[in-house]
């Protein structure tokens, strides 16, 4: 009997894990738009607009700011395979699962990889990374910014200057942290950055925004080798060509640039989504988006603590958008996650490696960085934990989150009053009049 396949109709879910999250409805609407040809003037204009928008998101003037068609891992691999010549030394500070991923990809690129490590949940001091650079003398420093496996973010301040001093290219992956945490490509002195849409940018996985400094571009272009079928007279053919054709950034730069090299067919629908993700960030304001993630992340942190739960990792360096919660003794972590999903339609995450079965990871990011999602998740988590026999504070999670919001509202109101007072001409006039009266200088 022939099987009848039904239309796609996914269940209603509130995705409060470490990503992916629920896509912003405006992004989904943008992705429903009709296709156009890849060299249609409207399409190439949309590509140019996408580049301009991501320069604002990344806070960079880099000309080579564009999209790699593929998930965030495609962006990572494109950056590394295009910058690493086999035999290059690469230094990777590892503080979670995704540092190990950078190691593996760099090794597959033929690099001589050196690592330094700290226990998961901690980060490196800039001094420790600088000492390793001095010892290893790498061509490239590759570091994850925010690692969702541990929920902490590695401080990057000062590393750009260190890399520049030692002639080292500086790359970071910001898939988990971009837009939810303060990040400025040019101020940090970064040479290469890759990201993804499925976390704080509020879109689906499948497109990787990337940006490259002129110094990184020079390294990549030195390996240019245009494939024979599209090669023109005068095109370069390096004897050190990039090992991947699809992820060859030297050709992809020319696809996105005025030459419009026929490298691949742009993933049009994903470009629509990526453009809308960036447009919404620019519309909200990058600082406002970071502050929103900080607000709701703080409320979630307060809430899980209000339930009497323990958190994992260095809270001083915790990302705004995700928190690791230690699974209480005697509680089956996977069973709790399953019940949250089955009974409440809420997804939270587990972790990897040494943290699997030890912590849950709860995210507040992108479209889901909202008050209602935080309060709903905390309420449901309390109910499920009670059924699992855990001793939690009745109403403690929601109450603590409300207190965090009230404190933030009061602080914002006080700041707004202070700013309004400082900017009010009437206040200046009152002050001047008072001053004049005090010195006998008032008009007769």
Question: How many CA atoms, within 13 angstroms, populate the side-chain half-sphere of residue 368?
Answer: 31
| Residue where a domain stops, chosen among 283, 303, 332 | 283
- Residue 440 belongs to some domain of the structure: no
Instruction: Identify whether residues 150 and 57 lie together within a single domain.
Output: yes
Looking at the predicted structure, is the pLDDT value of residue 250 above 60?
yes
Tally Cβ neighbours within 10 Å of residue 282: 16
In this prediction, residue 443 carries a pLDDT of: 33
List, for residues 382-396, the tens digit of each pLDDT value: 999 999 999 999 999
Looking at the predicted structure, is the pLDDT value of residue 439 above 70?
no
Looking at the predicted structure, is the pLDDT value of residue 426 above 60?
no
Higher pLDDT, residue 116 or 413 = 116
Instruction: Identify whether residues 266 and 296 lie together within a single domain.
Output: no
Residue of 250, 208, 203 whose CA lies nearest to 226:
250
Looking at the predicted structure, is the pLDDT value of residue 27 above 50?
yes
List, for residues 117-133, the tens digit of each pLDDT value: 999 999 999 999 999 99
- Residue 441 belongs to some domain of the structure: no
User: Inter-axis angle of helices 159-166 and 126-136, to 10 degrees?
Assistant: 10
Instruction: Identify whether residues 176 and 229 lie together within a single domain.
Output: yes
| Residue where a domain stops, chosen among 233, 267, 283 | 283
Average pLDDT of the chain is 93
Looking at the predicted structure, is the pLDDT value of residue 362 above 70?
yes
Instruction: Identify whether residues 295 and 263 lie together within a single domain.
Output: no
- Residue 432 belongs to some domain of the structure: no
Q: How confident is the model at residue 236 (pLDDT cuts 50, 70, 90)?
A: low
List, for residues 61-80, the tens digit of each pLDDT value: 999 999 999 999 999 999 99
In this prediction, residue 429 carries a pLDDT of: 44
CA distances 337 to 129, 363, 366, 371, 388, Å, are 37, 14, 21, 21, 11
Higher pLDDT, residue 425 or 303 = 303
Q: Which domain holds residue 190?
A: 14-283
Looking at the predicted structure, is the pLDDT value of residue 228 above 80?
no
Backbone angles phi, psi at 185, to 5 degrees: -55, -50
Portion of the chain with pLDDT greater than 90, in percent: 84
Instruction: Identify whether residues 274 and 326 lie together within a single domain.
Output: no
CB contact at 8 A, 145 and 153: yes
The arithmetic mean of pLDDT across residues 98-103, rounded, is 97
What separation, in Å, do the N-terminal and C-terminal C-alpha atoms of the chain show? 103
In this prediction, residue 202 carries a pLDDT of: 97
Instruction: Quote the tokens at residue 438.
Output: 């005090």
In this prediction, residue 89 carries a pLDDT of: 98
- Residue 444 belongs to some domain of the structure: no
Domain count, the chain: 2
The arithmetic mean of pLDDT across residues 175-204, rounded, is 98
CATH number at residue 39: 3.40.640.10
Residue of 183, 138, 191, 182 whose CA lies nearest to 161:
191
Looking at the predicted structure, is the pLDDT value of residue 428 above 80?
no
What is the C-alpha separation between 22 and 98, in angstroms, rounded? Answer: 23
Which are the contacts of 336, defined by CB distance < 8 A and separation ≥ 6?
327, 360, 381, 384, 385, 388
Instruction: Identify whether residues 316 and 355 lie together within a single domain.
Output: yes
- Residue 3 belongs to some domain of the structure: no
List, for residues 143-158, the tens digit of each pLDDT value: 999 999 999 999 999 9
Instruction: Identify whether residues 258 and 345 lie together within a single domain.
Output: no
Instruction: Identify whether residues 256 and 116 lie together within a single domain.
Output: yes
Looking at the predicted structure, is the pLDDT value of residue 436 above 60?
no
In this prediction, residue 173 carries a pLDDT of: 98
Instruction: Identify whether residues 84 and 118 lie together within a single domain.
Output: yes
The arithmetic mean of pLDDT across residues 38-60, rounded, is 97
In this prediction, residue 424 carries a pLDDT of: 61
3-state secondary structure the chain: CCCCCCCCCCCCCEECCCCCCCCCHHHHHHHCCCCCCCCCHHHHHHHHHHHHHHHHHHCCCCCEEEEEECCHHHHHHHHHHHHCCCCCEEEEEECCHHHHHHHHHHHHCCCEEEEEECCCCCCCCHHHHHHHHHHHCCCEEEEECEECCCCEECCCCCHHHHHHHHCCEEEEECCCCECCECCCHHHHCCCEEECCCCCCCCCCCCEEEEEECHHHHHHHHCCCECCHHHCCCCCCECCCCCCCCCCCHHHHHHHHCCCCCCCCCCCHHHHHHHHHHHHHHHHHCHHHHHHHHHHHHHHHHHHHHHCCCCECCCHHHECCCEEEEECCCCCCHHHHHHHHHHHHCEECECCCHHHCCCEEEEECCHHHCCHHHHHHHHHHHHHHHHHCCCCCCCCHHHHHHHHHHHHHHHHHHHHHHHHHHHHCHHHHHHHHHHHHHHHCCCCC
- Residue 399 belongs to some domain of the structure: yes
């Amino acid at each position: 009997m022939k099987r009848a396949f039904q239309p796609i109709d996914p269940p209603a879910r509130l995705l409060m894990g470490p990503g992916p999250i629920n896509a912003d409805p405006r992004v989904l609407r943008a992705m429903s738009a009709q296709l156009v040809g890849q060299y249609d003037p409207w399409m190439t204009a949309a590509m140019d607009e996408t580049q301009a928008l991501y320069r604002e998101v990344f806070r960079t003037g880099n000309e080579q700011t564009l999209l790699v068609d593929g998930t965030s891992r495609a962006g990572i691999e494109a950056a590394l395979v295009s910058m690493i010549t086999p035999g290059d030394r690469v230094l990777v500070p590892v503080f979670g699962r995704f540092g190990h991923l950078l190691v593996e990809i760099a090794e597959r690129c033929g690099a001589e990889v050196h690592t330094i490590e700290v226990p998961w949940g901690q980060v490196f001091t800039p001094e420790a990374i600088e000492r390793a650079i001095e010892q290893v003398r790498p061509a490239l420093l590759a570091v994850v910014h925010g690692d969702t496996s541990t929920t902490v973010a590695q401080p990057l301040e000062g590393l750009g200057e260190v890399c520049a001093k030692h002639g080292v290219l500086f790359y970071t992956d910001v898939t988990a942290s971009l837009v939810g945490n303060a990040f400025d490509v040019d101020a940090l002195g970064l040479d290469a950055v890759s990201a993804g849409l499925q976390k704080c940018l509020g879109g689906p996985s499948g497109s990787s925004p990337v940006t490259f400094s002129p110094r990184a571009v020079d390294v990549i272009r030195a390996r240019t080798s245009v494939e024979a079928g599209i090669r023109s007279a005068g095109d370069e053919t390096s004897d050190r060509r990039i090992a991947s054709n699809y992820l060859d950034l030297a050709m992809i730069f020319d696809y996105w640039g005025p030459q419009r090299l026929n490298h691949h067919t742009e993933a049009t629908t994903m470009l629509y989504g990526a453009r809308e993700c960036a447009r919404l960030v620019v519309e909200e304001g990058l600082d406002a988006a970071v502050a929103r993630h900080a607000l709701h992340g703080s409320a979630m942190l307060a809430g899980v603590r209000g339930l009497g739960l323990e958190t994992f990792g260095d809270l001083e360096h915790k990302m705004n958008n995700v928190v690791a919660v230690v699974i209480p003794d005697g509680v089956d972590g996977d069973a709790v996650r399953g019940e949250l999903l089955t009974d409440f339609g809420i997804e939270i995450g587990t972790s990897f490696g040494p943290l699997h079965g030890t912590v849950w990871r709860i995210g507040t990011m992108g479209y889901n960085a909202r008050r209602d999602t935080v309060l709903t998740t905390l309420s449901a988590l309390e109910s499920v934990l009670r059924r699992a026999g855990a001793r939690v504070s009745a109403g403690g999670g929601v109450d603590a989150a409300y207190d965090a919001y009230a404190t933030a509202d009061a602080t914002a109101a006080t700041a707004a009053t202070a700013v309004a007072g400082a900017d009010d001409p009437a206040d200046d006039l009152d002050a001047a009049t008072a001053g004049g009266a005090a010195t006998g200088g008032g008009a007769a």
